[in-house]
Structure 1
Amino acid sequence: MIVVGLTGGIGSGKTTVANFFKELNIPVYIADDEAKKLMVRSKVIKRQLIALFGDDAYIDNELNKPFIASKIFSDKTYLQQMNAIVHPKVAAHFKRWMKKQKSEYVIKEAAIIFEHNKEADFDFIITVTANLDERINRVIKRDNSSKSKIESIINNQMSDEEKVKKSHFVITNDNLEDTRNQVIKTHQIILKRIKNLKN
């Protein structure tokens, strides 16, 4: 099965692009969403996160996100330790999910493919970009967050320029109709490349 990575900075519109691929009957795996579900569902993850963060990591069987966010914010090693617990489980879950799919290729949407040096996990990588002001405005609306907080997140992420250099495809998400057309074009090129690989 061909695996296509879909990545991009905060507010670039990865979900919008993912939904356009779904319209073309391409299965999409949203790594962050699945990680959140596994953190609640998996007894092993739960046990390890409680050992890492303490009993306050969960309230009424739900992940205590504000508490964990504050811990990670004050000590970055917590994030590395949490990722070491969660990421292998997500990777295993993705492999099981992939085996059930019947399409020519699947998409795995993950924000930090390049930051974690995971390029080798993918046959092709698509980076979604967007105008910086547009990205900030989207996240302010979506997360009810402050401009300065979003800017600090963007400044901590790998730049679009660096991501674009490492990608096979780039989709600029500034206009919905244009974005949809870019997705259709990218989809057709991927299918053509898969056909060539098979020949």
Structure 2
Amino acid sequence: MGWHGVNGLNSKQFTCGHCGNIIATKSGFFSDNQQFIYICSHCDQPTHFNAQGSQYPDVAPGNDVGHLPEELAALYKEARNCVAASSYTGAVLLCRKLLMNIGVKQGAEEGKPFIHYVNYLAEQGYIPPNGRGWVDHIRKKGNEATHEIALMSKPDCEDLIAFSEMLMKFIYEFPNKVPAPPAE
């Protein structure tokens, strides 16, 4: 397979999987078998598009969450980056682990079965109304990824990351946006 230089590509608009910016560029390389590598005009990183149009790295789903403890921020970022790298089963497992770590950060005892953390978050009011179904969905998908011979899909991950993001915003970000009451 031969690759050809940086001239003559049609302009392509996409969201860069490295920096997250929406860009349009003609800079890159193309192959004899309809694959392309475009160079981001913002961060100068390469993005590969195969013959079917799939992007590598893909865009990490979800949004940053403010006021997260460092360990939770690292797990959340890793789960999002797994999706960008098409490592969907790993992302599901990380979302499950993230729930356990959220429970421990909120006071649950370490070393317990996973269901303990789910119940703790629910009993302590950290799961919003009608949110228990989502937590159970993360638990079930995590169990499926752990104990069954099953591969997870991108839509599975996007749902779990969206719920994880919402839960962490509910617990960490939103309470920190409320102004402190005036001193009396």
Higher RCO by CA contacts (8 Å cutoff, separation 6 or greater): 1
Q: Give TM-score, length-normalised by structure 2.
A: 0.24
Q: Give TM-score, length-normalised by structure 1.
A: 0.23
Larger helix proportion of the pair: 1
Instruction: Give the number of the structure whose alpha-carbon radius of gyration is greater.
Output: 2
